[in-house]
Amino acid sequence: MSKLPPLLALAAFLVAGACASYEKSDTQQATTAAQVDFDFLPIASETLPRLLQLNDRIFSGAEPKVELAFAELQKLGIKTIIGVDGARPKVEWAAKYGMEYVHIPIGYDGIEAAQANAFARVVSQKPGPYYFHCHHGRHRGPAAAAIGFMADTQCGPEGGIAVLTKAQTSKNYPGLWRDVEAFVMPAASAKVDLPAIAKVSDFDGAMAKMDRAWDEAKLIQKAGWKVSAEHPDLDPQRTALILAQTFEDLNSITPRRYVNEQIFQEQMQIALTASSALTQALAVNNVSNADAAFEKVRKSCKSCHFEYRDQ
Contacts of 302 (CB under 8 A, 6+ apart): none
Stretch that binds ligand HEC, among 7-15, 46-54, 209-217, 224-232 (CB under 6 A): 209-217
Residues 46-75 that bind ligand HEC (CB under 6 A): none
Q: Among 240, 195, 193, 197, which residue's Cα sits nearest to residue 216?
A: 240
For ligand HEC, which stretch binds (CB under 6 A), given 1-9, 67-75, 93-101, 267-275?
267-275
Q: Among residues 81, 210, 274, 278, which is the contact residue for ligand HEC, using CB under 6 A?
A: 210
Q: Are 108 and 305 in contact (CB under 8 A)?
A: yes
Cβ atoms 275, 213 nearer than 8 A: no
Per-residue exposure over 17-36, b if at least 16 CB sit within 10 Å of its own CB, e if not = ebbebeeeeeeeeeeeeeeb
Please, which residue, 47 or 273, has the CB nearer to ligand HEC?
A: 273
- Tell me which of 105, 110, 137, 160 binds ligand HEC, using CB under 6 A: 105
Site for ligand HEC contains 115 (CB under 6 A) = no
> Which is nearer to ligand HEC, 28 or 262 (by Cβ)?
262
Among 145, 268, 274, 290, binds ligand HEC (CB under 6 A): 268
Q: Which positions from 273 through 302 interact with ligand HEC, judged by CB under 6 A?
A: 297, 300-301
Contact criterion met (CB below 8 Å) for 311 and 177: no
64 with 47: CB under 8 angstroms? yes
- For residue 143, the minimal CB distance to ligand HEC (Å) is 13
163 neighbors 115 (Cβ within 8 angstroms): no
> Site mask, ligand HEC, residues 136-155, x = CB under 6 A?
--------------------
- In the complex with ligand HEC, the residue whose CB is nearer, 51 or 271, is 271
**Binding-site member from 169, 267, 276, 279 for ligand HEC (CB under 6 A):** 267
Q: Return the number of the residue (105 or 236) whose C-beta is nearest ligand HEC.
A: 105
Alpha carbon distance 302, 286 (integer Å): 25
Q: Which of 64, 86, 141, 186 binds ligand HEC (CB under 6 A)?
A: 86
Q: What are the two backbone dihedrals, phi and then psi, of residue 212, each rounded to the nearest 5 degrees?
A: -75, -40
Our measurement of the distance from residue 275's CA atom to the centroid of its chain's CA atoms, rounded to an integer in Å, reads 25
- Using CB under 6 A, count the residues that bind ligand HEC: 22
- Please state the closest distance from residue 208 (CB atom) to ligand HEC, in A: 4
231 binds ligand HEC (CB under 6 A): no
Alpha carbons 57 and 130: distance in angstroms, whole number: 6
Q: Compute the Cα dihedral for 130, 135, 137, 141 and give only its sign.
A: negative
- Pick one of 129, 219, 305, 311: the residue that binds ligand HEC (CB under 6 A): 305
Give the separation between CA 103 and CA 226, rounded to whole angstroms.
36
Among residues 100, 181, 204, 249, which is the contact residue for ligand HEC, using CB under 6 A?
204
Which residue number, 38 or 173, has a Cβ lying nearer to ligand HEC? Answer: 173
Evaluate the CA torsion angle 198, 203, 204, 207 in order and state its sign.
positive
Q: Which of 98, 82, 73, 88 is nearest to 146 (CA)?
A: 82
Residues at the interface with ligand HEC (CB under 6 A): 85-86, 105, 107, 203-204, 207-208, 210-211, 214, 264, 267-268, 271, 297, 300-301, 304-305, 308-309
